[in-house]
Amino acid sequence: MGFLNYACAQEYEFEDRTLAHLKVAISMKLRRQECFLMSWTNPAERGSGRTSIWLAPNIPLAFRFSGSRSPSLSETWPTALNELSHTPRGLIVMTEQEAERYLANR
């Protein structure tokens, strides 16, 4: 499990491969100086519910991976995350399979 450190104040835990794809999608947006909302569902062991954070170029972010090797990257997963980031709901963290279904049904 890796961590997304947000604003030097809060850490959010994600599986390393998911975090690697989020890093790609988030970097694409912030490189273009775009602000957006990112949301995800919390598992029961972390209290359930949903979390949303506002991402902007001026908010410090750090990606900390637990594994020593970079995970393989899918071409479609970051595409789906990026497309969702342009919607009013913002970037919704999803699995690779959910991303593939999203792109197939758009």
Residue 91: which pLDDT band, with cuts at 50, 70 and 90? Answer: very high
- What residues pair up with 3 in beta bridges, in sequence order? 13, 64
List b or e across 8-23, with b for residues whose CB sees 16 or more CB atoms inside 10 angstroms. Answer: eeeebebebbbbbbbb
CA pair distance 66, 105, nearest whole angstrom = 34
- The mean pLDDT of 87-92, rounded to a whole number, is 96
Whether residue 5 contacts residue 62, with contact meaning beta carbons closer than 8 Å, is answered with yes
The 10s digit of each residue's pLDDT in 19-59 is 999 999 999 999 999 999 999 999 888 889 999 999 999 99
**Residue 19 half-sphere exposure toward CB, CA atoms < 13 A:** 19
- The pLDDT score that the predictor gives to residue 43 is 86
- The pLDDT score that the predictor gives to residue 104 is 96
